[in-house]
Amino acid sequence: MSLEAAALGPVRKGLEFLGELWLLLIDALRRLPTAPFEWRETIGQMAFIGVASLPIVMLTSFFSGSVIALYLTEFLHRYGATGFIGGTVGLTVTREMGPVLAGITVAARCGSSMASQIGSMAVTEQIDALKMLSVHPTKFLVVPRLVACVTMMPILGLASVYAASTGGYLVTQSRGVAGSIFLDSYKQYTDLHDLWSGLIKTPVFGVIIALVACQQGLKTRNGAVGVGRATTNAVVIGIVLVYLADFVIASLQY
């Protein structure tokens, strides 16, 4: 293999991967309004992605907000700027930490599950059976997961913001800062625009998580080894693309 081929190989694979995601998205959007709509599968995925993920999202966000508040309290108290603690925590969790934590948690928990489920169907020829029954895999497998992710991610993002803010509030109180100072600062420096700036990212995260997981699952080969590889790839690629999308959206916003 020449040096040029070795250098261009990863670039070619990356472009092929992005092309597959784009084609899968176009196919899913084209089949979304066509009958019949898989209501039962969609509601089941919404329960799995939204309701079942809510505890872990809130728990992770609560302790993340607590840690941020812990460091900020020690740092700002040293310089007599405790009045900025609430605002700093508020801006951090509403614009960035809440939505991103929700995204990476869903990518890890649900993206892996979706990839392994579809991958297992692929290696056991269940997807071929669906085609024999005139059921398109995109319509039955991809569309419900895509709709569920896009629908539930804003709710999980909002729950993440609430949990992180609560954790920050409780920690600042335990470190000797009055709750009224934290809340006044939070209200002064944080408004609905900051909240919407963060939550608007969550549907994009949902699209990324669902597409990556389904794409990795549908292309699974080589039995159990392939299922494990697809599951790992879905989590790793999903989380990386969530961070990349967060950076791009934040750059466009500011």
DSSP 48-108: IIIITTHHHHHHHHHHHHHHHHHHHHHHHHHTT-GGGHHHHHHHHIIIIIHHHHHHHHHII
Structure tokens at 6: 């070795």
**CA-to-CA distance for 109 and 135, rounded, in angstroms?**
27
177: left (phi over 0), alpha (psi -120 to 50) or beta: beta
Residue 36 backbone dihedrals phi, psi, to 5 degrees? -85, 150
HSE (side-chain half, CA atoms, 13 Å) at 56: 15
Tokens 């990863």 locate to 10
pLDDT digits (tens, 9 = 90+) for 63-89: 999 999 888 888 887 777 778 888 889
pLDDT at 128: 86
Between the CA atoms of 55, 60, 61 and 66, what dihedral angle is there, to the nearest 10 degrees?
Answer: 130
Ranges of the chain with pLDDT below 70: 1-8
pLDDT at 36: 84
pLDDT at 143: 94
Closest CA to 73 of 82, 65, 64: 82
Closest CA to 201 of 102, 73, 121, 88: 102
* CA dihedral over 28, 33, 36, 37, signed as positive or negative: positive
pLDDT at 2: 59
User: Omega of the bond prior to 36 within 30 degrees of 0, cis?
Assistant: yes
Q: 242 with 135: CB under 8 angstroms?
A: no
